[in-house]
C-alpha cells in the first residue's frame, strides 16, 4: 500500500495596503533607516489601518484567494486551523470567525497559539488529519495583526513587526511529494524573555497595567537572538542529517522572518547559500505566524515539483521547529 502524505496544493495571502517605513518610525522613536537595516534588515512593514478590521479579516481574504486559485468550493473544506497570537478576541477562536466569513459551512476550526512557530506547529497538526485518511481538504492559516500589540514608543520592538496573513490548502497524495517529517520543540523557560505581560488570567488588564504599557510585546533582545540562532539552526541541521539532505540537494530554506542576522546565521550553519533562502523580511517585517507562508506565497512561481524544502521557525515560549517537505506542484502566478 502506498503511503499517503499531506501536500500543499495552493497558497493564498493578504497584506494590508499601508506601508510603515523606517523613515516614519524614525519620527516616533530615536532610530534611523540605516540602524534598522543594519541591525534587523527591515525596510518597511504592512499595517492594517482600516477601522474595525482585525486578524480574521486578513485571514478571510487569504482563504478566499486560496479557494479561488485552487478552484475549491468553500463547502469542500473539512477543517481550518489558524495559527495566531493576535486573535480578534480571547474567544471565540479566530478560526471560527474566518470559517464563518469565508462560508466554510462544513469545516470545523480552531486556533493554535505558538507565536512565530505557530504555522509550522499548525501545519504539523493538519498533516496528521490528512495522513490518517480522515480528511481530504484542510486549510492552515497563519495570520497576525502585530500592530495591535506593538508599543510604538518602544525603540527596541516597534521596528520589528508587521501585519499579514497567508493560507495553504493541504490535500492527500501518494506521489513522492508532500510533508515528509517534522521536528518540533518547546521549552517554557523562555517564557520570561518574549511575552505580553498583562491581559491574561495571571495579570488581568487593569488601568494600572495599561498605564505601564503591559499590554504590548516585551522582549529581552539579546537572549532571544542567542536562542533563536542556536535552536533554529540546530533543528534545521538535524532534519537535514536525518534525511541525508546535503546542501546541494536542498532547493529552499524557508526561515521565520524575524531578523536578517538570524536568517544568515542559520544558513551558514546549514552550509547553504543565500540564493537557497526565501527572504522577504525587508518588505513585511515580522508577521509572526504569517512569515513562513508569506514566503511560500512570494516564491511560489520559483518552486518546482519535487523540490526539497525545509521550513524553520523560532518563537516565544520558547517554541521552535522544522519541517521537511517535497514541493507538490509547478505553478506560474
pLDDT tens for 22-63 read: 999 999 999 999 999 999 999 999 999 999 999 999 999 999
Would you say the pTM of this structure is higher than 0.85? yes
| Gap between the Cα atoms of 173 and 132, Å rounded | 12
C-alpha pair distances (Å), 228 with each of 102, 129, 167: 35, 29, 25
Checking DSSP bridges between strand 44-47 and strand 194-196, what pairing results, if any? unpaired
With a cut of 90, say whether residue 226 has pLDDT above it. Answer: yes
Q: How many CB atoms lie within 10 A of CB 301?
A: 11
User: What is the average pLDDT across 281-296?
Assistant: 98
The reported pLDDT for the residue numbered 331 is: 85
Q: Which residues are catalytic?
A: 116, 256, 286
| Gap between the Cα atoms of 64 and 47, Å rounded | 20
The reported pLDDT for the residue numbered 311 is: 98
The reported pLDDT for the residue numbered 2 is: 76
Q: pLDDT tens-digit profile of 133-156?
A: 999 999 999 999 999 999 999 999
User: What is the average pLDDT across 211-217?
Assistant: 96
User: What is the average pLDDT across 92-96?
Assistant: 98
The reported pLDDT for the residue numbered 1 is: 57
With a cut of 60, say whether residue 90 has pLDDT above it. Answer: yes
With a cut of 90, say whether residue 332 has pLDDT above it. Answer: no
With a cut of 60, say whether residue 199 has pLDDT above it. Answer: yes
Q: Could you identify the residue written with the cell 495583526?
A: 145
| Gap between the Cα atoms of 173 and 329, Å rounded | 11
Amino acid at each position: 500500500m502506498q503511503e499517503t502524505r499531506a501536500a500543499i496544493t495552493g497558497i493564498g495571502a493578504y497584506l494590508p495596503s499601508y506601508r510603515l517605513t523606517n523613515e516614519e518610525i524614525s519620527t516616533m522613536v530615536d532610530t534611523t533607516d540605516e540602524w534598522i537595516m543594519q541591525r534587523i534588515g527591515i525596510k518597511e512593514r504592512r499595517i492594517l489601518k482600516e477601522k474595525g478590521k482585525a486578524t480574521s479579516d486578513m485571514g478571510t481574504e487569504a482563504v478566499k484567494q486560496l479557494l479561488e486559485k485552487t478552484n475549491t468550493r468553500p463547502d469542500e473544506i473539512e477543517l481550518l486551523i489558524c495559527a495566531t497570537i493576535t486573535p480578534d478576541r480571547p474567544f471565540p477562536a479566530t478560526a471560527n470567525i474566518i470559517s464563518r466569513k469565508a462560508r466554510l459551512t462544513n469545516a470545523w476550526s480552531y486556533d493554535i497559539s505558538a507565536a512565530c512557530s505557530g504555522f509550522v506547529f499548525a501545519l504539523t497538526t493538519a498533516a496528521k488529519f490528512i495522513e490518517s485518511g480522515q480528511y481530504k481538504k484542510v486549510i492552515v492559516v497563519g495570520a497576525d495583526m502585530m500592530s495591535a500589540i506593538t508599543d510604538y514608543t518602544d525603540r527596541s520592538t516597534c521596528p520589528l513587526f508587521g501585519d499579514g496573513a497567508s493560507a495553504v490548502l493541504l490535500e492527500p497524495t501518494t506521489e513522492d511529494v508532500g510533508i515528509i517529517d517534522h521536528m518540533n520543540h518547546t521549552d517554557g523557560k523562555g517564557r520570561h524573555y518574549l511575552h505580553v505581560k498583562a491581559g491574561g488570567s495571571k495579570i488581568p488588564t487593569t488601568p494600572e497595567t495599561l498605564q505601564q504599557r503591559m499590554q504590548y510585546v516585551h522582549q529581552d533582545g539579546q537572549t532571544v537572538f542567542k536562542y533563536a540562532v542556536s535552536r533554529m539552526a540546530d533543528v534545521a541541521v538535524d532534519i537535514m542529517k536525518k534525511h541525508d539532505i546535503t546542501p546541494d540537494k536542498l532547493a529552499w530554506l524557508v526561515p521565520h522572518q524575524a531578523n536578517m542576522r538570524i536568517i544568515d546565521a542559520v544558513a551558514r550553519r546549514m552550509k547553504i547559500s543565500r540564493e537557497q533562502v526565501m527572504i522577504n523580511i525587508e518588505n513585511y517585517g515580522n508577521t509572526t505566524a504569517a512569515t513562513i507562508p508569506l514566503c511560500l506565497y512570494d516564491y511560489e512561481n520559483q518552486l518546482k515539483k519535487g523540490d526539497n524544502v525545509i521550513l524553520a521557525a523560532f518563537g516565544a515560549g520558547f517554541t521552535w521547529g522544522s519541517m521537511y517537505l517535497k514541493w507538490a506542484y509547478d505553478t506560474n502566478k
